[in-house]
Structure 1
Amino acid sequence: MRRNILITGASSGLGMGMARAWAAKGCNLALCARREENLEALQHELTTSYPNIRVVIQALDVCDYDRVPEVFQSFKEELGSLDRIVVNAGMASSHGIGQGHFESNRQAAETNFVAAIAQCEAAMEIFRAQNAGHLVLISSVSGVRGFRGAMNVYAATKAAVASLAEGLQLDTEGTPIRVTNIMPGYILTDINRSTKNAPFRVDLETGVAALVSAIDKEKRRAYVPWWPWTPLSYVIKALPFKVFARAM
């Protein structure tokens, strides 16, 4: 079992849900996010419910690229090792291209992709020194194809994250380091709460259970929940452009 797990973006949503699930399994946790007060509350909750585990926290904006390796290394020193690092921090894009919202779209692109590179750099440095570890990148089903409007930039960043994960899988093939690309469908969190008509959306508890189960299997790629997103991902990719344009 991967006992010492680092999760970014752990102050809400999927990150918080994963922390609770792995705490229940007896894992020690290194949790970071921008909202320190949320982390403190989660730390208190988990150590009270599971007094035999360690939960260490640090405030971190993943776009503060110089601090990312510092925080990851300090977590490693505090816990002795890091067995799994989950690159989870991210944000939605809320505007289409050409509507005068470049700064908002730039922020989404930086947070979802450039910051993911910074996290992967820090994680792989630790894992290569240990000659062991499991790196998990949270992409999205939306990364399998371009999407219109407000989803455009978000989908593009998640496609980039998926590609980054596959490249790292090639880099680590034949080594004790595992890399997993997780592609969730619609799981109810703040990032998609305002999305209207989100197809096949599941509640947070159901989604997190499927997410943790998929990560623990350590496959190269997993759609979450498996049904219906695994078969649907192939349908989405195969639809002719004009059919996809009408559907979206």
Structure 2
Amino acid sequence: MKKTWFITGASKGFGLELARQLLAKGENVAATSRNKNELENQIAASPNFLALQLDLTDENDVQRAITQTIAEFGSLDVVINNAGFGLLGAVEELSDAETRQNFEVNVFGSLNVIRKALPQMRKQNAGHILNIASIGGYLGDFPGFGIYCATKFAVIGFTEALAMEVKDFNIKATAVLPGYFRTNFLTSGSLVTPKNELDAYESTRESQKFHQEQMNLNQPGDPVKGAKAIIDTVYAENPPVHLFLGSDAYKLATEKSNAMMDELERWKSVTVSTDF
């Protein structure tokens, strides 16, 4: 049965690849971007395709887009919260405004979509919400990525709770944790750096240089395969709450899990000593 997919940030990266693959499968796709023209330039017109200009930080605008999608296709089956941007700067050097803007888009934008989508999904007694997080939402030890990682930790946290809250309505929730994929994420339009850099943070500048000059366009992950894996997850009988993508993500997650267990055991006597 044909599904209706609502994808944010669909004019580039994973969002664009997801939209293209879904349309090729004959699915209904409502795709959003800050610039509707970018969507229409990238994706050919089709009765199954609805291009929507959307400001994720405006709840009323989100409601308009969701309402338009349901009016166009009659249902809302899958939401993919893909829109977001990277922020590379040390915690100290990023201003309050820069920090809050990253949370506005990466966290509160997704929550706006979820709140507006769930009434229709509950009415249908079916649906799936996928929130694109990052391996940086599972571990934060990347110099210069503290705030970005904090936004993705938040995404994973509310996705875990959401999965428990909506299961009685036959709705699924999945956090997607990609490693490095060869999208335009590390280009200037998707990766923001501080207005006021502090020379003292050499490790952050090295991280910035590495990501912009060495890792950019050399990422090991194939976005075509990544998008297919996300789509396939929706059709799985028991989709995961956490979907890690990429061999690098698997390696980093395994190392983090092992390190956490080691630290937990080392400090066990202190940890358990605080009970009554």
Smaller-chain TM-score bracket: 0.7 to 0.9
Residue segments in structure 2 that go unaligned for 5+ positions in a row: 188-210, 264-276
Which residue of structure 1 aligns with residue 206 of structure 2? none
Query: Contact (CA 8 Å) 2:10, 2:33: kept in 1 or not?
Result: yes
Q: Does 1:234 align with 2:228?
A: no
Query: Which has the higher Rg, Structure 1 or Structure 2?
Result: 2
Give the counterpart letter for 1:25 in structure 2: K
Which residue of structure 2 aligns with residue 50 of structure 1? none
Q: Distance in 2 between matches of 1:2 and 1:90?
A: 27
Query: Contact (CA 8 Å) 1:180, 1:215: kept in 2 or not?
Result: no
Any idea what the Cα deviations from partners look like across 1:201-237, whole Å, max 9, x if unmatched?
Answer: 3233333333333344332221013x34235312124
Describe the SS at the equivalent of 1:124: helix
Aligned residues with identical type, % of pairs? 27
Query: Contact (CA 8 Å) 2:2, 2:28: kept in 1 or not?
Result: no
Query: Contact (CA 8 Å) 2:182, 2:219: kept in 1 or not?
Result: no
Aligned with residue 221 of structure 1, among 232, 236, 242: 242
Q: Distance in 1 between matches of 2:112 and 2:151?
A: 14
Quick one: structure 1 residues 38 and 200, their matched pair in 2 at CA, closer, same or farther if it must change by over 3 Å? closer
Which residue of structure 1 aligns with residue 223 of structure 2? 204
Which residue of structure 1 aligns with residue 134 of structure 2? 140
Q: State the number of aligned residues.
A: 235
Q: Distance in 1 between matches of 2:249 and 2:107?
A: 23
Quick one: structure 1 residues 200 and 60, their matched pair in 2 at CA, closer, same or farther if it must change by over 3 Å? closer
**TM-score, reference length from structure 1:** 0.85
Q: Distance in 2 between matches of 1:140 and 1:188?
A: 14
Quick one: structure 1 residues 60 and 200, their matched pair in 2 at CA, closer, same or farther if it must change by over 3 Å? closer
Structure 1: 4+ residue segments shifted above 6 A: none
Give the counterpart letter for 2:116 in structure 1: A
Which residue of structure 2 aligns with residue 115 of structure 1? 109
Quick one: structure 1 residues 148 and 185, their matched pair in 2 at CA, closer, same or farther if it must change by over 3 Å? closer
Query: Contact (CA 8 Å) 1:143, 1:155: kept in 2 or not?
Result: yes
Q: Distance in 2 between matches of 1:175 and 1:237?
A: 32
Which residue of structure 1 aligns with residue 33 of structure 2? 33
Quick one: structure 1 residues 102 and 180, their matched pair in 2 at CA, closer, same or farther if it must change by over 3 Å? same
Quick one: structure 1 residues 2 and 139, their matched pair in 2 at CA, closer, same or farther if it must change by over 3 Å? farther
Describe the SS at the equivalent of 2:147: helix
**TM-score, reference length from structure 2:** 0.77
Give the counterpart letter for 1:152 in structure 2: G
Query: Contact (CA 8 Å) 2:87, 2:145: kept in 1 or not?
Result: yes
Any idea what the Cα deviations from partners look like across 1:142-179, whole Å, max 9, x if unmatched?
Answer: 11122344211111111110111110111022431111
